Chain A
Amino acid sequence: MTTPKAAGLTRRQQYEAAQRRRSTLIAATSTALVVAAIIILVPMTPGWEKVQRSFFNGQTFVDTFPKLLDAFKINVMIFLWSAPAIAILGLLIALARDTKSPALFPLRIFGAAFTDIFRGIPVILTVYLIGFGIPGLGLPRPWNSPYIWGSLALILTYAAYVAEIFRSGIDSVHHSQRSAALSLGLSERQVTRYVVLPQAIRNVVPAQMNMLIALQKDVSLLSFIGPVEIFRQAGVFKSLLANFTPYVGAAIIFLIVTIPATRYADYLMAKQRKERR
Chain B
Amino acid sequence: MAKLALRGVVKRFGDATVCDGIDLDVEEGQMVCLIGASGGGKSTLLRCINLLEVIEDGEIRLDGEDITVPGLDPQTVRSRIGMVFQSYNLFPHMTALENALLAPRLVKGQNSESDRQEIEGLFVRFGLADRMGNYPDQLSGGQQQRVAIVRALAMRPDVMLFDEITSALDPQLVGEVLDVLLQLKAEGMTMILATHEMEFARQAADKVCFLKDGKIIEEGPPSTLFTAPREADTQAFLARAIK
Residues of A in contact with B (beta carbons under 8 Å apart)? 176-177, 179-187, 190, 194-195, 198-199, 202
Bound Cα distance A186, B93 (Å): 17
Question: Quick check: is B200 within 8 A (CB to CB) of the other chain?
Answer: no
Contacting pair B151 A202 (CB below 8 A): no
Which A-B residue pairs are the 6 nearest by beta carbons?
A: A185-B79, A180-B89, A184-B103, A183-B83, A185-B107, A185-B78
CB < 8 Å A-B pair total:
59
Shortest Cβ gap from A170 to chain B (Å): 14
- CB-CB nearest in chain A for B91: A195
Known contacts A180-B90, A182-B74, A195-B91, then 9 further A-B pairs from the complex at CB < 8 Å, ordered by chain A residue: A176-B89, A180-B89, A180-B148, A184-B102, A184-B103, A184-B151, A185-B155, A186-B102, A202-B93
Q: Return chain B residues, CB-CB under 8 Å to A184.
A: 78-79, 82, 102-103, 107, 151-152, 155
The docked-state distance in angstroms from the alpha carbon of A195 to that of B152 is 15
Partner of B75, one of A180, A185, A195: A185
Total chain B interface residues with beta-carbon distance under 8 A:
26
Contact of A186 with B107 in the complex, beta carbons under 8 Å:
yes
A97 to chain B, nearest CB (A): 23
Is B102 in contact with A194, judged by CB distance below 8 angstroms? yes
What are 11 A-B pairs at a CB distance below 8 A?
A179-B85, A180-B85, A180-B89, A183-B83, A184-B151, A185-B79, A185-B107, A186-B75, A190-B107, A199-B93, A202-B93
**A176 in contact with B85 given A184-B151, A186-B107 (CB within 8 Å):** yes
In the assembled complex, B190 has its CB within 8 A of some CB on chain A: no
| CA of A44 to CA of B87, assembled, Å | 67
| CB contact list, B72-111 vs A, under 8 A | 74-76, 78-79, 81-83, 85, 87, 89-93, 102-103, 106-107
Main secondary structure on A side of the interface with B:
helix
Which of the residues B76, B91, B148 comes within 8 Å of A181, measured between beta carbons?
A: B91
B residues near A (Cβ < 8 Å) are: 47, 50, 52, 74-76, 78-79, 81-83, 85, 87, 89-93, 102-103, 106-107, 148, 151-152, 155
Complex Cα spacing A186 to B78, Å = 8
Complex-state Cα separation, A185 to B158, whole angstroms = 13
Instruction: Identify A198's interface contact among B75, B87, B93, B103, CB under 8 A.
Output: B93
Cross-chain contact B82 with A183 (CB below 8 angstroms): yes
Task: Specify which chain A residues have a CB less than 8 angstroms from the CB of B83 in the assembled complex.
Answer: 180, 183
A180 — which chain B residues lie within 8 A by C-beta? 83, 85, 89-91, 148
List residues of chain A with CB within 8 A of the CB of B52: 179, 182-183
Cα–Cα, bound, A177→B90 (Å) = 7
How near does chain A come to B144, taking the closest CB pair, in angstroms?
Answer: 12
Contacts of A181 in B (CB 8 A): 91, 103
In the assembled complex, the CB of A60 is this many whole angstroms from the nearest CB of chain B, namely: 52
Q: Inside 8 A of B79's CB, which chain A residues have their CB? A: 184-185
Contact B78 A183 (CB under 8 A): yes
Across-interface contacts of A199 in B (CB, < 8 A): 91-93
A199 to B136, CA, bound (A): 14
| B93 and A179 contact, CB distance less than 8 A | no
CA distance A148 to B78 in the complex (A): 49
CB within 8 Å for A179 and B78 given contacts A184-B102, A185-B103, A186-B107: no
